Structure 1
């Protein structure tokens, strides 16, 4: 094999690159050019054929030559390309071959990335828009993405551009439709009425994308539907059946569809939607079942009676993951809708026997602590947890148990005094986890300050109605999410801010710590050595 840097090899290379038989085969020509560019010793010999290739009569040669210059710039970023090459690439934006045009855009983006990419002016913009229909799907998306940099100089020019883009809004290809709508929203950031009209225009193509045979396409479309519903809640209300879950659909699509259904609920379809979600609660997938239960809880913010009827019925199934999800949902529901507390309290009797997971037990303990005065069996349920605290492995359950025990002591002291004393003694004297021990010490010293001071700290708000109901929420401005449309951000975020099941006490998640808590500046409590002298047993004395 000859030395690749030798004269004979260079002559053979030049002969091959100018051979019309090789140029007639796009794949062979492309492979030859891109392989040679990787060799530093031959780069200087490739520049001349690449420059000649930009003016070649064959479109396939021009396509590869453009990509070759982009590759050359990528491999040698420190080298300055000749301005004539850049001008030649700009002139090729008017090439009759649409693939050459798109390749030029990508090449200029790569070559001029330090300067902000390709410069888009009025003539280039209008030329690219007129050639848009000649490009393939990928090419159209690339052109539309680059055109977002251009800002029309007048309203007349803006509406001329929008008229040229209008056919692409209803394109049968979802990527083109999404890229066009993204450009629409970018151009019409100061024209909310035009943006809303564009959202109405893409309703049909977006629904078609939600029914695509590709799972990935369906998921992306559902995420973008959630974005649109933030500003136009009723956009797809009459098409809610299109978001019912199919039996064979994967769990991640089912969960996203249920989130969309929550946003589409209204007085006319609430009964049918709740019945549909109820069927998903017994799905073979635990994640799908728990998502359906959480969706029913979200609808319960506006239709609490119907939702609680379904949730209460699910508790009778005595299935661990269903009971856990229902208890967590009920906890979150009473935090938002305190009027549901009586129904929730009556449904909790006996469910502690089914709960096994940490999140479900924490939710139950929070409910027992906050609404324990309404539950006859609340102290006895807590006693079971307290008796088993030595073998409890969950840190969250222990800390929630401490809070629930102190809260219930404030409302039912006679029944809780002995149990609370035993719990505090164990957590202070024997518990190895410092978080649990510190919380027990905090409550112990707080109780020494007096019952009223403890009541101010632990018996504050029982709910947060300020979170609002689901129905009738104010629509968000399109500008808040327009920059995320047709990007990965729409897939990473849930678009609509649907709350997941909160961990631990809901007040720890829903509220921020206040700078000035209503506490005395000093806590008049006993020193630490008093704890070891047996004073921590005072709550266990009769």
Structure 2
């Protein structure tokens, strides 16, 4: 029978039985009793009162029993430091035991007990174990030095443990050496001062390399990581290290191979790049990197991420291995994406034919994301290999002829980039692109075709007609498309001024009067001011030559690349983030990684480009203004026609003294434009949305909806109002009122306690029953003694790590509170909004797939009444309460919001929100895998949004 039987004992009086068994004479009974104790401890029961009895069982030579006792003592060390002192004598005694396994177990346990009170007792056993005759004890003690340093670094230095640890680097046993290296490396990460004992010289490195061949695979990783941080004295020293590390490239363990690659890549920079040794070493590096791709997919992915770095640093290493990275039909999509990226990096003039053939084949696959990236990769090939640009364009046109919607749209996006790279060279394909206008529904594709029309407006006969068609649906377009429409029409006006004055007047009026998108409005004012003051300056700004884009904009900047190369085989080289991002915990801090387009299907506007880049690929959202030239421009104002004429070339005098001056004299109305009445869309609007995932537009909080009157909103904290939880009668003289709040990502239980008894109340403690969200106090209840008729307040932090048990209703919380008089009980409902977490924003594609996956019978319709705030205020209020807008869409003039939230227990809820103007309410569709949360969510919406 397995040990699972020990987790099923829940009978009363169990602790007394266990106490008797622990104090019995039979070792097998004691062993079973301790296993029951540890099982109870594991499921959260407090068995600390058995501490003396368990420790007494440690007085034995039975290794299994002793391990169980030590496991128990380690668990209660932090919460019961005084009790832990009772076991110190046992640890010290066992550190002198004849059995080396017990000696090692004792020193390991003392190192794991992170209690300051026992550090002084730990020093002498640790010193003896560092000099022990048995290598197993020494290697265990080496790691314990690092653990002790983390508790009390000054004590380690004072007791001379660093010197002893360094002496272990010369130990005859390779595992002792490996553990000593690992301990020193860990201490160096936390050491604030550059201690000379932690540095490595040539002699030490030679000793480590000698031990390398006899270590286990993880010992080799520790040693190689240490060698990778060593600075060689000269080129000869570096070459010697490389020669001794190179055999590790043929190791069966991928971690050892990557660590060896890291050392070699770092030392290669020191060598003469023209030497035969470097050429030979470059050829040797190819085989082990390729071999990593024969492992399971997860290892392949890590290997590919690291290979990508190696290729950026030294593309010659794998220049002949393009076929290795061809995608296999059964590769997971994440492996396919990485292989595709590496293929483009290895593509050159000699192998472009192979690459194009593969990419064209990939573009017919069934995986949409992979197809999109494959099409975009063809465009990258055209940008990278000049001589193959025409073939790439021809391939893209062939793909457009397939009429597959997402293929056509991605092809148009990359052709726009090709136009940027090769201006005035492939304009003959514009006619083919314009034929696809009616099928484009993705913002990036629509913005790209509009950019092409605006850029080549003077060569397209019906450019005005095409742009006017986009202008008809201007209000329904994504902000990215709106910006591009504005810029394209201004370009058209500057190239053909005589025929397009009404069009430019219309788009400028819409951009400045009928929108509350600040980016669009400001750009409209800038264009307006430019055209009114100096059309020639407008031409120089708007029609200026664009910087050419290049494939190099997709590379990581050199400084970051060097740091990542030095950390190959770690998380840094997988996430492409510096080590500081993980050490400091700032996992999402910006990094200077340049991406012409992000991996996969993200918008290029999310890329981060440093200011030192001479030319970077702009977003297709219309970034054609040279903003630095426009910073001093003021808001437009009416200007007499004579003033305009005096500054304008003769070819434009008639136009500017006529139509445009009328535009400038037009008053700007502040009244909002009311949309025509339209029926409120039902949830079928979302079904339409699911059919066209590209029509999801990321909602901007700056957009003012016409559905509600404008309103100013000040953010509120997620907090509920105070309620009476425990009456005077039920509390035997103690009354408790309180509320729940969420502050800085943590849940708090705020309470007000009033003493109506005839004596002072003290000794407060609190405990929760099992509940649906695992709510438990994160710290003891801190309440000062309350005098007679006194009142005090307290705030108790909560976490969600407790035992989960479904309650009815789901947010019901049963509480027991103790004082020096009695134990009192009450129940309350936790407002569910305090359980909404900050990571509840779901990605758009995940949102769509999740909505489809949740059964239709799980969808529920609720109504929230009394909502009179504007839509942008509503979004802000919901966002402040961790209900996030995934997308915003307009159907027949009616705005719809698609939102997501995540509960503390990991349950996601998807929301479709539709304003009901006639009844000042909201119609809300909910979809979640657990429908029990719907009533609480409805109450949350009502309390958050009802005025």
Cα deviation for residue 503 of structure 1 reads: 4.3
Q: Structure 2: how far apart are the matches of 1:435 and 1:512?
A: 13
Q: Equivalent of 2:663, from 532, 536, 540?
A: 536
Which one is further off, 519-528 or 90-99? 519-528
Residues 145/436 of structure 1: CA separation in 2 closer, same or farther (3 Å cut): same
2:351 maps to 269
2:690 maps to none
Residue correspondence of structure 1 range 101-500 to structure 2 within 5 A: 101-111=177-187, 113-116=191-194, 118-153=198-233, 156-193=236-273, 194-215=277-298, 217-301=299-383, 302=386, 303-392=388-477, 394-461=478-545, 463-465=546-548, 467=549, 481-485=561-565, 486=568, 488-493=571-576, 499-500=596-597
1:349-399 CA-partner distances (Å, limit 9, x unpaired):
22121111211111111111001233344222211211112333x222111
Partner SS state of residue 356, structure 1: coil
Cα deviation for residue 450 of structure 1 reads: 4.9
Structure 1 or 2: more helix by fraction: 1
**Is residue 32 of structure 1 aligned with residue 109 of structure 2?**
yes
2:852 maps to none
Q: Structure 2: how far apart are the matches of 1:126 and 1:114?
A: 27
Contact 1:222 1:257 in 2 (8 A): yes
Q: Structure 1: how far apart are the matches of 2:218 and 2:106?
A: 22
Contact 2:235 2:270 in 1 (8 A): no
Residues 76/338 of structure 1: CA separation in 2 closer, same or farther (3 Å cut): same
Report the number of matched residues: 527
- For structure 1, list consecutive stretches of 5 or more residues without a partner in the other structure: none
**Is residue 14 of structure 1 aligned with residue 92 of structure 2?**
yes
Residues 147/353 of structure 1: CA separation in 2 closer, same or farther (3 Å cut): same
1:418-441 CA-partner distances (Å, limit 9, x unpaired):
322222222223222233222222
Q: Structure 2: how far apart are the matches of 1:127 and 1:184?
A: 18
Residues 145/528 of structure 1: CA separation in 2 closer, same or farther (3 Å cut): farther
Q: Structure 1: how far apart are the matches of 2:639 and 2:147?
A: 71
Question: If the length of structure 2 is used for normalisation, what is the TM-score?
Answer: 0.50
Query: Which protein shows a greater Rg?
Result: 2
Contact 1:425 1:537 in 2 (8 A): no
1:206-262 CA-partner distances (Å, limit 9, x unpaired):
0111332142x2223223333333354443333211111122322222122112111
Higher relative contact order (CA 8 A, sep 6+): 1
2:140 maps to 64
Q: Structure 2: how far apart are the matches of 1:395 and 1:249?
A: 37
Cα deviation for residue 312 of structure 1 reads: 1.1
Q: Structure 2: how far apart are the matches of 1:92 and 1:147?
A: 16
Contact 1:50 1:65 in 2 (8 A): yes
Q: Structure 2: how far apart are the matches of 1:496 and 1:272?
A: 29
Residues 438/197 of structure 1: CA separation in 2 closer, same or farther (3 Å cut): same
Q: Structure 1: how far apart are the matches of 2:89 and 2:517?
A: 77
- For structure 2, list consecutive stretches of 5 or more residues without a partner in the other structure: 1-50, 56-81, 578-591, 598-602, 607-614, 642-659, 667-947
Q: Structure 1: how far apart are the matches of 2:472 and 2:373?
A: 33
Residues 451/133 of structure 1: CA separation in 2 closer, same or farther (3 Å cut): same
Cα deviation for residue 290 of structure 1 reads: 1.5
Cα deviation for residue 523 of structure 1 reads: 8.5
Q: Structure 2: how far apart are the matches of 1:399 and 1:159?
A: 57
Structure 1 or 2: more strand by fraction: 2
1:412-470 CA-partner distances (Å, limit 9, x unpaired):
34553332222222222322223322222222232223543332222221x544x4578
Residues 232/506 of structure 1: CA separation in 2 closer, same or farther (3 Å cut): closer
Q: Structure 2: how far apart are the matches of 1:208 and 1:534?
A: 71
CA RMSD of aligned residues (A): 3.8
Which one is further off, 104-113 or 138-147? 104-113
Q: Structure 2: how far apart are the matches of 1:536 and 1:186?
A: 64
Q: Structure 1: how far apart are the matches of 2:334 and 2:247?
A: 32
